[in-house]
Amino acid sequence: DPCRNFHCKRGKVCHVDQQGEPCCICQDPAACPSTKDYEHVCGTDNKTYEGTCQLFGTKCQLEGTKMGRQLHLDYMGSCKYIPPCTDYEVDQFPLRMRDWLKNILMQYYERDLNTSGILTEKQRNKIKKIYQNDKRLAAGDHTVELLLHDFEKNYHMYVYPVHWQFHQLDLHPADRLLTHSELAPLRASLVPMEHCITRFFQECDGDQDKLIALKEWCHCFGIKK
């Protein structure tokens, strides 16, 4: 089968042409496998798609058009009303996000104590210093005031989690710049819970070049260096 090891980007499938050569053609959205309700996704056109196969197949068919360029995965789940993000809320967003990233790494570290494999040795060594610090703020539903106070008092505990998340996303390619596609895995899963995340990332892009550089990312999260 010429298509066996032939890779096509999302929204396209391998097809053998008349000469027997493999090539990529747009996925027919109607031919996508059926999905469960929890696999539905919302596109930036505010339309619910049965799954990412249908969304990216549709985007491929619109290639070269304005609609095609503007269509992306907005968030996981069926489309619903997302309230607008106020100036106050977007200002508070990095406080919760920093705390959330730190706590995710704490969970990964605890899991690795029993069955290593999630973190590299270098990552474990960095996280261990935060984990063993008796001044660390435990996970919980904290007030904005407490999160701000802890960030100012224990700033050093938040630097690595912010850097870590950037490099977790910066993969295709790893060039110290985050594209819309690289941000999608984080954004799409959080939008229903954190309605300010879209505006936050838009405002992070200080030079409006559709890319978030490491320096811009750190600035948004209040990391000074």
Q: Which domains does the chain have, with CATH numbers?
A: 12-76 (3.30.60.30), 87-221 (1.10.238.10)
Q: pTM of the predicted model, to two decimals?
A: 0.79
Q: What are phi and psi of 174, to 5 degrees?
A: -80, 90
Angle between helices 197-204 and 87-114 in degrees, nearest 10: 100
DSSP 140-164: S---HHHHHHHHHHSTHHHHHHHHH
Per-residue pLDDT of the chain (225 residues; tens, 9 = 90+): 889 889 999 999 999 999 999 999 999 999 999 999 889 999 999 999 999 999 999 999 999 999 999 999 999 999 999 899 999 999 999 999 999 999 999 999 999 887 767 889 899 999 999 999 999 999 999 999 999 999 999 999 999 999 999 999 999 889 999 998 899 889 888 888 889 999 999 999 999 999 999 999 999 999 997
Q: pLDDT at position 116, please?
A: 67
Eight-state DSSP code of residue 213: E
Task: Say if CB 196 and CB 89 are below 8 A apart.
Answer: yes
For residues 45 and 84, give the distance between their C-alpha atoms in angstroms, rounded to a whole number.
Answer: 16
Q: Would you say how long the chain is, in residues?
A: 225
DSSP 13-54: EEEE-TTS-EEEEE--GGGSPP--GGG-EEETTS-EESSHHH
Task: Say if CB 147 and CB 99 are below 8 A apart.
Answer: yes
How distant, in Å, are the alpha carbons of 42, 75, 178, 187, 191 from that of 81? 11, 12, 27, 16, 11
Sorted by sequence, the CB contacts under 8 Å of residue 69 that are 6+ apart come out as none
DSSP 82-110: -PPPPHHHHHHHHHHHHHHHHHHHHHHHH
Q: Shortest CA distance to 12 belongs to which of 65, 71, 52?
A: 52
Q: pLDDT at position 106, please?
A: 95
Q: How far is CA 36 from the centre of its chain?
A: 22
Q: pLDDT at position 185, please?
A: 87
